[in-house]
Structure 1
Amino acid sequence: MKRLAYSLIAGAVTLALTACNGDDGAKGQQGEQGVQGTTGQNGVDGQNGQDGASGQPGSDGANGKDGANGGSGLIRIATVPNGAEVTGLFLTEQGDLFFNVQHPADSNTVATDGKTFNKGTVGVLTGVDFNNLPRNIVSSPVPASEQEQQIVMSAIGQYQVLGQTGDVFANLGAKGVTGGLGVHYGINSKQEIIRNDNPDFNGFIATSDTEGYLFTNWESYPGGMSRLKMSKDTKGEWSITEAMMVNFDAVHGTAANCFGSVSPWGTPLTSEEWIVNSSVDSTTDASWNDPADTRTDGIEALVAPDFPNPYRYGYIAEVKNPTSASPDVIKHFTIGRYEHENSVVMPDERTVYSSQDDTGGVLFKFIADHPKDLSSGTLYGAKLTQDEGLNDPAVTGFDIEWVELASGSNADIATWITEYDNITTADYVDGQSSYITMADVQAWADGAQTYPSIEQGGGPVTAGKPMDNRVAFLESRQAARLKGATAEWRKLEGISINLERVKEAVTGEDLIEGEIVDKAYMYIGIADIDNTMTDDQGDIQLSRRVKDCGGVYRAAIDSNYNLTRIEPVVMGGTYRSSLTGAERCDVNQLSQPDNVIVMRDGRIIIGEDGFQDNNTLWLYDPKSK
């Protein structure tokens, strides 16, 4: 994803995986040799034949298994144009794979099908069902020519552009977009603030096998979300019939809508990022309302003439009744305030996991009081214990405990947030904070009965008042850290499950045809294994060998939809600090993986947010490990 200047990058180690040969059958005829996998080694020999009765020859051994993919097991499904990140990965129940071209270079000039990739682009791979994808896909080549470097190249399917920044869909008349995709207006001024090239999360809400609504985040400051009503023809190509930008005015607008997910009950969950200050020893920046500081200008423009309350931003927002003419939006303060990458809801429709994309981030869990209702519940932070004697990212895992932070409801938290609405630049005092302070969070963590006074370092809104749980929901990272959760992740990016696989593993229902799923995982993308993950301090103390090439982890899910352990799945190559640019990470391995999605058959699709000349959309099969 597009990040602030302080966002760095990290890397990881690749795992070479091979098939093995078995023993010949004793007395019985030797089983047939397995079919050779794509660039893989020979299949496993058949099982030993059984001795026949009365001296008869034994039966043939079973056929050998196909060999696993050779090399790293990664298949390059597609590459995106110069300057772009791969964002918006979403796989529908009908097998359609959506992904976006985020902030491509504006110098790109090559056109395909009348489209030039010099602005943010939303698209889909057509002509292929990714829910029935063969295993003999050959990688798309690394772009070599200038033309190849400026387009989307794919190993399978054709990339169809659905919309680009500024598109108004004039052919739809009144059903088009006023101003265009990715264009954001002030709540009060109704003036254009920004048009951005950062389409991120996609979420598709199907209304039939061939129709539905595509929701796309536009990651900017302020943020936004578009909705395209679409239909698919018999050739698999899409047509747009309605287009709009979702109205967030009722929730005071949004800040940097990053990745997201679709809940099991069919509502998009969009994530607010960027706006929260989670540096190691600080809460909301004391200079937020400093009149000499310009960092709030984007949000000020959104709500002008009113000064923005920082505690109104940094949450998961749910789009209710998503297919209606005017969808409703609710921010779930209960899931906590931090730099959300995305949240994933488990099949119990109560358990939610959320990732914090920052330096020193936390993996959070929220358990709702009631299914399909995220408005009240309990927030937790993950406490990790690293495998003893190991520190290489390719082999080092972590056991997980959960630290309870607090229980609350949207209604109660909204009351606390309102108390900060009237703070403006006129209230700024140099050297003091107008908001929640670290002294406030420490007092809460220590179990104090009242908030500290201003003289003791407390914030003016709560000074001397009875203690409550506002810090757990408004300054969630610091609250989790002081309660003992691990606050050391570096760019904890996308998290993903396949709902059917998880449900089958937990309930035993037969949901995945042709496979018995008895173990399920949540997959986690880490763009940078660096900084707080490699500083030889705290709960995470990994080696620096991988650094800015990144990797993908998985977390085991138990029968209560609880995460119990995190372990590496596939890592990028060794970081080469002596080189510059894209060469620092092997172009044929991962380079700063961002978001991950899990296919029905257990394979994973990984999008890069890296410094390669052309970032890659990868396919990886964990079974090859």
Structure 2
Amino acid sequence: MLNWKKWRKKALLPALGLAVLTVGIPAAVYAKNPAAPQGSSNNGVAVKSVEFVGMPAPSTAADMAKLYTTASVKVTYSDGSSKSFPLSYKKLFKSTDKVGGTIAGVAVDAKGSPIMDTTNPSQPVPYVSEDPDANSLFSVPGMKADGKGGNALSLVTHYEYINRAYGTVPASMSLTTIDQNKTTGELTPVTLKKIDFSGVGGLWIPCNGSLTPWNTHLGSEEYEGDARAFEADPTKTYTGSFVQNYYGDTTKVGNPYAYGYIPEVTVKADNSTSVAKHYSMGRFSHELGKVAPDFRTVLFGDDGGNTMLFMYVADKAKDLSAGTLYAAKWVQKSADNGGSADLQWIKLGHATDKEVKAYVDQGLKFSDIFETSDAAAAGFTAIKTYPSGKLEYLKVKPGMEKAAAFLESRRYGAIVGATAEFNKMEGVAFDTKSNKAYIAMSYVEKAMEKDTKGADPADDIQVNKISAGVTYELTLTGKQKDKAGSSIDSAYVPSFMQGLVVGEDLAAPDALGNKANPDKVANPDNLSFSQELRTLFIGEDSSLHVNNFVWAYNVDTKKLSRVLSTPAGAEATGLSAVDNLNGFSYVMSNIQHPGDEMIVADSLKADVENYINQNFDNKSSGLVGYLSGLPTKQQMLAAKADEAKLVELREKAKNGGASIIVTKGAKDIVIVKGSHKLSIRVGSKTATLDGKTITLPKAPVNKQGRVWINAGALDQLFNP
């Protein structure tokens, strides 16, 4: 791109936190340009295509220890021309930073006070998470600006766990008020507070999350405690230590059925919040819930081994407090590339949050719901599901079907015939234009492979092993019937599932230590879809790549581009594509636990670790931030419209390091930059760039002895 330092000082502003140059002008400058209509620029040219130009994987120890991008967005117009918008990564805060006086990742108890680590009794310190996860960035109608002159935005962020106290210390979410610069779109954190979960008994391991179409945040509670194991021995799950730390009371026992749901956070105009747990959406290892465009249908990730694909259809739009829960049966069609299958849906039951919460409040136990057997017996069904992972023989006690469906959704689903063989089911995203959904399966192995020993109670999924994982495409259709023949009241029912973006395992590690092809996605986790860019963003949680990446996959062209590299050992989390928020677009993306369990080659490991310790406080901090520089459609068109504007030639060429040769009475002019040469003639639209004839939108003109040329010509010279 142009490197005109003087021009930047005078005219350029950082678009989305970055000087995004097209014709030496940032995309932000065009954000509210009235001359650029929605469909085409003011010269009638439209956007033909948008693609991401990816970055190489890091190869040096310094690069392998940082969070960065060198990728860009290439926009091609209907006249055949193109422009490049470079991307950059912008930090908002580390999890260890104080924002407005509050440590971002601090764990808090039921009273909102920091939970203290008393490992060293003489020097207690607060527990602070190094593991930020989900982000929802949005605007709340009526919220007042913070006095910095920008738009007021809200950011909800998860802090999934604390490495040294996984599960035993309650997790948290924060609400950050963000100032969005009205000119550049740059985001600045102003204040941060912890969201109060005391009304719902605290927050269990919150993994990914999503923004609903009605502007609330859906969180998650992952890896639900095994109620059967807890009843036999309360020390076998985190439940007891979790509630004791949350309430500051060592006599608390806890109830595993109180956790494992989807919490919904509503942010109000006065910056206050309210929280509701949706017990009617089922209890399982919630990676996240994602709401379809009908505002009623929800698909879920169910993380772990021997997990299940669930769907929830709410009774009313924008109201997740009552609805019907379904589980899928995989009817396999092929085994290659992650496999493909028709999906048959089994109704588990209908409930309200109030009904299911009543079961929890009355202290219902596993043994109140199921009878068990140690071996096959009449009336008992053999199942194998998470969290047990063991072969179980269960029978639902009479009248306890609803309790089983919503407190033990996976166990009950397996009993009635749903498939419990998915492995590490992670992110979910919707493409409303194509009526598709996408689900990440981080590791396609174990229960998803054919059971060659015949040891499992069911073997619906028999696909070929891909440890690097697969992102699946789901076809959504309406007028579907469940297994019992009853209509499913949704137009967004997944009916077919097939592998789309497939990882590639390596037979042996490469020179850097990668165990999967670094030029393909490995172990997909977070997913987010940009309707405006027609792009599925995929974030990795890989133990097979030295560095985890964020990828951009164009669902129309099928092009895959690496757009962000995280430090070795860090997971890419909090992925959220935000289209056109007050005229600016972002991709939110965090990292957690940098330097954790690195697989870097021995020759580089010590240097990489040293750099990570320098960059991330000795591995104690994660980071919350965003990928900036993505142009909105309006900015793309405005950039093209501006191409025809005239700029003063001599100053721009000089500041850009180019030389000028003037001949024939100052009419013929040659501008030279390195090995590139642009020849123009005052009064003529015809010019020559590196020996090729081009046509300028406007002819150069001489005004009072100064030649003015359209900016697009210089853009082609400096960016041929």
TM-score when scaled to structure 1?
0.65
Describe how 1:36-435 pairs up with structure 2 within 5 A: 135-154=50-69, 155-156=71-72, 157-169=87-99, 172=100, 176-177=101-102, 180-187=103-110, 190-192=113-115, 194-207=127-140, 210-220=151-161, 221=167, 222-233=170-181, 234-277=183-226, 284-286=228-230, 289-291=233-235, 296-305=240-249, 306-387=252-333, 390-393=334-337, 396-420=339-363
How far is 1:141 from its partner?
2.1
Does the aligned pair in 1 maintain the 2:16–2:184 contact within 8 Å? no
How far is 1:231 from its partner?
1.8
Q: Are the structure 2 counterparts of residues 401 and 228 from structure 1 closer, same or farther at C-alpha, using a change threshold of 3 Å? A: same
**Counterpart residue identity of residue 475, structure 2:** A
How far is 1:324 from its partner?
3.8
Does the aligned pair in 1 maintain the 2:112–2:194 contact within 8 Å? no
- 2:534 aligned to 590, 597, 602, which one? 602
How far is 1:614 from its partner?
1.4
Unaligned runs of 5+ in 1: 1-94, 98-124, 278-282, 424-432, 447-456, 503-516
Does the aligned pair in 2 maintain the 1:551–1:571 contact within 8 Å? yes
1:9-67 Cα shifts (integer Å, max 9, x gaps): xxxxxxxxxxxxxxxxxxxxxxxxxxxxxxxxxxxxxxxxxxxxxxxxxxxxxxxxxxx
1:542-573 Cα shifts (integer Å, max 9, x gaps): 112x2x21111110112411111111111011
1:456-486 Cα shifts (integer Å, max 9, x gaps): x999xx9987435101000101111111111
The structure 1 segments of at least 4 consecutive aligned residues displaced by more than 6 Å after TM superposition are 125-129, 131-134, 292-295, 442-446, 462-465, 578-581
How far is 1:236 from its partner?
2.8
Q: Which residue of 2 aligns with 1:564?
A: 495
Q: Are the structure 2 counterparts of residues 413 and 376 from structure 1 closer, same or farther at C-alpha, using a change threshold of 3 Å? A: same
**Counterpart residue identity of residue 507, structure 2:** R
Q: Are the structure 2 counterparts of residues 570 and 249 from structure 1 closer, same or farther at C-alpha, using a change threshold of 3 Å? A: same
1:108-142 Cα shifts (integer Å, max 9, x gaps): xxxxxxxxxxxxxxxxx99999x999645332221
**Counterpart residue identity of residue 289, structure 2:** S
Residue 483 of structure 1 pairs with residue 419 of structure 2: no
Does the aligned pair in 2 maintain the 1:385–1:399 contact within 8 Å? yes
1:590-625 Cα shifts (integer Å, max 9, x gaps): 111111111114221110101222111111122234
CA distance in 1, matches of 2:369, 2:48: 51
- 2:405 aligned to 456, 472, 477, which one? 472
The count of corresponding residues between Structure 1 and Structure 2 is: 445
CA distance in 2, matches of 1:580, 1:416: 55
1:175-228 Cα shifts (integer Å, max 9, x gaps): x42xx1111122269451531111111111224794310111110232211111
How far is 1:417 from its partner?
0.5
Does the aligned pair in 2 maintain the 1:576–1:583 contact within 8 Å? no
Q: Are the structure 2 counterparts of residues 294 and 236 from structure 1 closer, same or farther at C-alpha, using a change threshold of 3 Å? A: closer
Describe how 1:454-465 pairs up with structure 2 within 5 A: none
Q: CA RMSD of the aligned region, Å?
A: 3.4
Does the aligned pair in 1 maintain the 2:197–2:275 contact within 8 Å? yes
Q: Are the structure 2 counterparts of residues 296 and 578 from structure 1 closer, same or farther at C-alpha, using a change threshold of 3 Å? A: farther
Does the aligned pair in 1 maintain the 2:422–2:448 contact within 8 Å? yes
Q: Are the structure 2 counterparts of residues 293 and 616 from structure 1 closer, same or farther at C-alpha, using a change threshold of 3 Å? A: closer
Describe how 1:13-32 pairs up with structure 2 within 5 A: none
Q: Which residue of 2 aligns with 1:539?
A: 460
Q: Which residue of 2 aligns with 1:68?
A: none
2:52 match: secondary structure: coil
1:301 match: secondary structure: helix
**Counterpart residue identity of residue 198, structure 2:** D
How far is 1:437 from its partner?
4.2
- 1:552 aligned to 464, 471, 485, which one? 471
Does the aligned pair in 1 maintain the 2:108–2:172 contact within 8 Å? no
CA distance in 2, matches of 1:298, 1:195: 15
Q: Are the structure 2 counterparts of residues 136 and 356 from structure 1 closer, same or farther at C-alpha, using a change threshold of 3 Å? A: closer
**Counterpart residue identity of residue 515, structure 2:** R
Q: Which residue of 2 aligns with 1:513?
A: none
Describe how 1:442-521 pairs up with structure 2 within 5 A: 466-498=399-431, 502=432, 517=433, 519-521=434-436
CA distance in 2, matches of 1:356, 1:443: 31
**Counterpart residue identity of residue 391, structure 1:** A
**Counterpart residue identity of residue 532, structure 1:** A
Q: Are the structure 2 counterparts of residues 215 and 489 from structure 1 closer, same or farther at C-alpha, using a change threshold of 3 Å? A: same
Q: Are the structure 2 counterparts of residues 467 and 594 from structure 1 closer, same or farther at C-alpha, using a change threshold of 3 Å? A: closer
Q: Are the structure 2 counterparts of residues 438 and 364 from structure 1 closer, same or farther at C-alpha, using a change threshold of 3 Å? A: farther
Q: Are the structure 2 counterparts of residues 463 and 608 from structure 1 closer, same or farther at C-alpha, using a change threshold of 3 Å? A: closer
CA distance in 2, matches of 1:294, 1:189: 21
Q: Are the structure 2 counterparts of residues 128 and 413 from structure 1 closer, same or farther at C-alpha, using a change threshold of 3 Å? A: farther
CA distance in 2, matches of 1:594, 1:481: 25
Q: Are the structure 2 counterparts of residues 578 and 144 from structure 1 closer, same or farther at C-alpha, using a change threshold of 3 Å? A: closer
CA distance in 2, matches of 1:367, 1:231: 36
Q: Are the structure 2 counterparts of residues 351 and 291 from structure 1 closer, same or farther at C-alpha, using a change threshold of 3 Å? A: closer
1:583 match: secondary structure: coil
1:411 match: secondary structure: helix
CA distance in 2, matches of 1:608, 1:128: 33
2:244 match: secondary structure: helix
1:481 match: secondary structure: helix
TM-score when scaled to structure 2?
0.57
2:207 match: secondary structure: strand
CA distance in 1, matches of 2:199, 2:378: 34
CA distance in 1, matches of 2:445, 2:398: 40
Does the aligned pair in 2 maintain the 1:549–1:575 contact within 8 Å? no
**Counterpart residue identity of residue 307, structure 2:** G
Q: Are the structure 2 counterparts of residues 312 and 290 from structure 1 closer, same or farther at C-alpha, using a change threshold of 3 Å? A: closer
Q: Are the structure 2 counterparts of residues 476 and 566 from structure 1 closer, same or farther at C-alpha, using a change threshold of 3 Å? A: same
- 1:616 aligned to 549, 556, 562, which one? 549
CA distance in 1, matches of 2:542, 2:308: 22
Q: Are the structure 2 counterparts of residues 152 and 314 from structure 1 closer, same or farther at C-alpha, using a change threshold of 3 Å? A: same
Decide which structure has greater strand share.
Answer: 2
CA distance in 1, matches of 2:393, 2:444: 35
How far is 1:232 from its partner?
1.9
Does the aligned pair in 2 maintain the 1:492–1:527 contact within 8 Å? yes
CA distance in 2, matches of 1:354, 1:624: 27
Unaligned runs of 5+ in 2: 1-14, 18-26, 32-37, 39-46, 73-86, 117-126, 142-149, 162-166, 382-391, 452-457, 479-490, 559-720
CA distance in 1, matches of 2:448, 2:231: 28
**Identity level (%):** 27
How far is 1:582 from its partner?
4.2
Q: Which residue of 2 aligns with 1:76?
A: none
Does the aligned pair in 2 maintain the 1:257–1:273 contact within 8 Å? yes
CA distance in 2, matches of 1:526, 1:190: 37
2:419 match: secondary structure: coil
